[in-house]
C-alpha cells in the first residue's frame, strides 16, 4: 500500500499524538476577560447594572466595561488539564456578579452571587454555552421588540441564535 506525503503526515500525527507547530489543538477559550457576542445579532452580553439580580440582555457591541466578562476555565483535578467547564462573571471589582440563568425559565438571564457552571461546545460557527444546572439547556438570544434582546436558556435547535463568539478584551 502506498501513502501520499499528506497521509503519512496525518498517520504520524495520529500515532505521536501531537499537532504540527502552529496548529490550534484546543478550540475553547482559556481563562481571561472577554466580550461575548451573539452570532445572530452581533450584540454583546450586558447586564442592566452592576449589582445582584440585574437582568442581562444583548446590546450594541461598544466594548464598554459593562460588556466585559471574566471566564474561569476549570482544570481536571486528576489530569491537570483544562476542561470544557467554565464560570462566567462580570469583569472588574465586582467579584460576586456571576452570569446565571434566571430562576424562572422563561425570563432573561441575570447576574447574581451564585456561581453557575457552563459547558462550552465548539461548533463550525461559534460556541454553544450549556448550563450544567439546567441539564444542558443552551444560552440563546431571544428578540423582544421594542426592548433589548433577552438571553435565555433552552434546548439547542442548532440555529445561529445559540451561537456565541468570545473576543479577548484588552
* For the chain, domain boundaries: 29-168
The whole-number average pLDDT for the span 75-104 is 94
* pLDDT reading at 75 higher than 60: yes
Across the range 83-97, mean pLDDT stands at: 91
The residue ranges of DSSP E strands in the chain, in sequence order, are 32-38, 44-47, 56-59, 68-75, 82-90, 98-100, 110-112, 118-123, 126-131, 138-142, 149-154, 164-168
Within 10 Å of residue 81's Cβ, how many Cβ atoms? 8
What's the whole-model pTM score?
0.84
Class of the domain covering 29-168: mainly beta
Identify which of 158, 162, 157 has the alpha carbon closest to the alpha carbon of residue 127: 162
Quote the Cα angle for 91-46-110, to 5°.
90
In the numeric block, the cell 452580553 is attached to 45
Average pLDDT for 37-56: 96
Residue 54 pLDDT class (50, 70, 90 cuts): very high
Q: How far is it, in rounded angstroms, from Cα 130 to Cα 121?
A: 8
Q: What is the mean pLDDT of the chain?
A: 88
Q: What is the structure's pLDDT at 152?
A: 98
For position 21, what pLDDT does the model report?
44
Q: Which of 9, 10, 91 is closest to 47 using CA atoms?
A: 91
- Residues 1 and 3: their CA atoms lie apart, in Å, by 7
Q: What is the pLDDT of residues 91-150, one digit of tens each?
A: 987 678 999 999 998 899 999 999 999 999 999 999 999 999 999 999 999 999 999 999
Amino acid at each position: 500500500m502506498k501513502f501520499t506525503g499528506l497521509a503519512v503526515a496525518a498517520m504520524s500525527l495520529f500515532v505521536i499524538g501531537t499537532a504540527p507547530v502552529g496548529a490550534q489543538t484546543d478550540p475553547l477559550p482559556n481563562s481571561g476577560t472577554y466580550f461575548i457576542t451573539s452570532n445572530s445579532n452581533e450584540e454583546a452580553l450586558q447586564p442592566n447594572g452592576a449589582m445582584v439580580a440585574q437582568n442581562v440582555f444583548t446590546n450594541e457591541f461598544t466594548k464598554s466595561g459593562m460588556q466585559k466578562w471574566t471566564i474561569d476555565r476549570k482544570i481536571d483535578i486528576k489530569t491537570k488539564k483544562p476542561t470544557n467547564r467554565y464560570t462566567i462573571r462580570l469583569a472588574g471589582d465586582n467579584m460576586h456578579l456571576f452570569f446565571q440563568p434566571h430562576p424562572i425559565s422563561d425570563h432573561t438571564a441575570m447576574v447574581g452571587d451564585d456561581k453557575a457552571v457552563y459547558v462550552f461546545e465548539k461548533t463550525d460557527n461559534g460556541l454553544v454555552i450549556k448550563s450544567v444546572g439546567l441539564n444542558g439547556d443552551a444560552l440563546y438570544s431571544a428578540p423582544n421588540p421594542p426592548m433589548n434582546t433577552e438571553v435565555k436558556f433552552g434546548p439547542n435547535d442548532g440555529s445561529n441564535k445559540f451561537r456565541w463568539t468570545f473576543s479577548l478584551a484588552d
